[in-house]
Amino acid sequence: MAGLTDLTLKAALDGLAAKAFSSEEITRAHLEAVEAARPLNAFVLETPERALDMARAADARRARGEAGPLEGAPIGIKDLFCTEGVRTTACSDILADFTPTYESTVTANLFRDGAVMLGKLNMDQFAMGSSNETSSFGPVVNPWRRAGGGPDLTPGGSSGGSAAAVAARLCLGATATDTGGSIRQPAAFTGTVGIKPTYGRCSRWGIVAFASSLDQAGPIARTVEDAAILLTSMAGHDPRDSTSLPVETPDFAGFVGKSVKGLRIGVPKEYRVDGMPAEIDALWEQGIAWLKDAGCEIVEVALPHTRYALPAYYIVAPAEASSNLARYDGMRYGLRVEGANLLETYEQTRARGFGEEVKRRILIGAYVLSAGYYDAYYLKALKVRRRIAEDFDRAFEKVDALLTPTAPSAAFALGENASDPVAMYLNDIFTVTVNLAGLPGMSLPAGVDAAGLPLGLQLIGRALDEGTLFSLGGALEKAADFRGRPERWW
């Protein structure tokens, strides 16, 4: 039943509730789509039997009148989330066939609410990257192609598998994580909606750690409402994560469709960077006009430390990564390459198991944390981080949310930036500020470039004010009326 894969999550849940089809039927339809889409390389592990078991259990619960909010809805899980009894690799050789004996809190929350897992999704290795090319399973191919052909494109990263799978109708939604843009940039590159909630909204427990003070889980979906439904299930206080916020989770879907009249929207002039394609600038202007039409007041704001955000991020994130990744020593998880003695075993395991980008981050991180350089780099980056957060605090005295582009370009070709790490890092210029400040940020598709590729707009909100982002996202989604979808070639 191919039509079932075209439904939004909301429509699918309504159809399941009305018994128009069963979870087993909609799960089978998606499993077929996943199998047919192997050329995209979006899934690194398909779990069809488990999915069908979960679907049948969901149907049984529904028949007993015990349906949860996501009962029977098939979704994909980024391979950074530990899934009990299901291989979890962070797309790195060093984790090899690591199979967790526990479930991450976020996936446990989704399964508690009835979601069905189709499999594990490809991503940049340890979530380090902006193009999915650092995955040990090879890159994901963006289902979108430039009009008139051309090379295969990246779906963005690190949650490229999640974004590609959602865009290609392989799942109704997916989990993702965002340390410096990994939900929002792939969403922008694939015409999907992604939200990184406030730091602390979703538990990090059971998510393979990259940079702990920045890592945050969130959903990628095809509509703002679908993202709201998923986030409502994913979020919630968890005593097992000391940074998890002890706050209630609102019903985020209730904010979609609410009037945004009278909201003040900040436009930060510092996000108008040199060399940004004119189409992105034009889309930003269009977004401003749409929000004006919806009754918002547009205010120019200053975020003067924006230009220091990327350098600060690329010090703080590797520093934390070098510390987090120290645990992969060949003793506890996955790969072990035996050396002549313990030290050699450590060295050879890490040399073989980690990819190039991961090694680069570990080296940078160890360097900026080392005795002679700590003050000059790491401490300074922390100070910059504070300034960036203060910029936002000041802006939010005047406005309710900010509107910016999500990324400085549309999806680029696989291989285009792969040999130039700095060019790759520049992709994160509009997204890392939000992580450094711990704020919620949403990307939604708002238009296409001259080649017909989707472009995203980003909304940034006050801490714990995802609700306003869902209202604004709903308004922009309605105005943009983005119906583009990738034409099937796989």
Which residues are part of the catalytic machinery?
A: 78, 158, 182
Nearer to ligand GLN, 116 or 317 (CB): 317
Backbone torsions φ then ψ of 132, nearest 5 degrees: 70, 5
Least gap, CB of 235 to ligand GLN (angstroms): 18
**447 in Cβ contact with 480 (< 8 Å):** yes
Least gap, CB of 215 to ligand GLN (angstroms): 7
Distance CA 110, CA 229 (A): 10
Coil, helix or strand at residue 401: strand
Residues that bind ligand GLN (CB under 6 A): 127-130, 158, 178-182, 210, 317, 428
Locate 260 and state its tokens: 């945004």
Nearer to ligand GLN, 279 or 428 (CB): 428
State the distance between the two ends of the chain, measured CA to CA, in whole angstroms: 18
CA Rg value for the chain: 21
Nearer to ligand GLN, 9 or 80 (CB): 80
- Which amino acid type is present at position 166? V
Nearer to ligand GLN, 58 or 364 (CB): 364
Locate 94 and state its tokens: 């060093």
Least gap, CB of 187 to ligand GLN (angstroms): 12
Nearer to ligand GLN, 105 or 182 (CB): 182
Nearer to ligand GLN, 134 or 249 (CB): 134
Nearer to ligand GLN, 41 or 130 (CB): 130
Q: How far is CA 313 from CA 287, 428, 430, in A?
A: 27, 10, 12
Least gap, CB of 425 to ligand GLN (angstroms): 7
Backbone torsions φ then ψ of 377, nearest 5 degrees: -110, -65
Long-range contacts, 19-23 (Cβ 8 Å, 24+): 22/55, 22/59, 22/72, 23/54, 23/55, 23/56, 23/58, 23/59, 23/62, 23/71, 23/72, 23/73, 23/74, 23/116
Least gap, CB of 194 to ligand GLN (angstroms): 11
Nearest by Cα to 5 from 143, 162, 166: 166
Least gap, CB of 478 to ligand GLN (angstroms): 28
**321 in Cβ contact with 126 (< 8 Å):** yes
Q: How far is CA 406 from CA 27, 100, 180, in A?
A: 32, 34, 12
Residue 453 CB partners (closer than 8 Å, separation 6+): 144, 146, 153, 189, 410, 411
Least gap, CB of 427 to ligand GLN (angstroms): 7
- Which amino acid type is present at position 46? E
